Amino acid sequence: MARIALVTGGMGGLGEAICIKLAALGYQVVTTYSPSNTSANDWLVSMERQGYNFRAYPCDVADYDSAQECVARIRQEIGAIDVLINNAGITRDMSFKKMQKADWDAVMRTDLDSVFNMTKPVCDDMVERGWGRIINISSVNGQKGAFGQTNYSAAKAGMHGFTKALALEVARKAVTVNTVSPGYIGTKMVMAIPREVLDSKIIPQIPMARLGQPEEVAGLIAYLASDEAAFVTGANIAINGGQHIY
């Protein structure tokens, strides 16, 4: 029976690449989307035309009750989740001087609280079955910081603190918990940055002199989700082209 992988925020960008990679490896892939997303069905149809039979559920990952209800529906309609990839996230970039409480709260709830909200209802099942993979998608800016991202950097750094602590709690039950910290990846969000900014300010910071590709990150995540990665837990794996080495 195929293992079930849940990817939060899987419609587009890195999340879509993760869904496609896992499906190609034989996982039954489920994703979440924001209840306000009116194009979710269009995405599912588009993916089906490409041969991918994904399932998708509306879920406000920033809301604990919504996350609980979403996971309960997946468990009832599809089965228990074997692999959880906490990928959903947002940015509200601005200098700390200009940042308002609402900007801080929105990012912390969506990027950090969501990790608790989505992990809580699946972790016990994994422990009881004696197998599970939890992969938290952080960022290079959670490791090194970034101007205008006190909220985002704090949330992404907090994700790895969560990873390390939970990894210790569930390791004996063959459940691994890891963080992946991508650098600048060629998603639609990054490619929306003006070309002159990419060429003059971002790419020169990357020793490999290019943006990463979503498929490269998805390949790393697929490894961490596999049986071969059973001895990797509590790790924060950087995939940033050498932009930040620590």
- Catalytic (active-site) positions: 152
Both tokens of 26, joined, read 């034989």
Specify the amino acid at residue 55: R
Q: Which two tokens stand for residue 54?
A: 């994904």
Cβ-based neighbour number of residue 25 at 10 Å: 14
Block residue for tokens 């990846």: 185
The two tokens of residue 77 are 């309609």
Question: Phi first, then psi: what are they for 227, rounded to 5°?
Answer: -65, -35
CA dihedral in degrees (63, 169, 75, 219; nearest 10)? 90
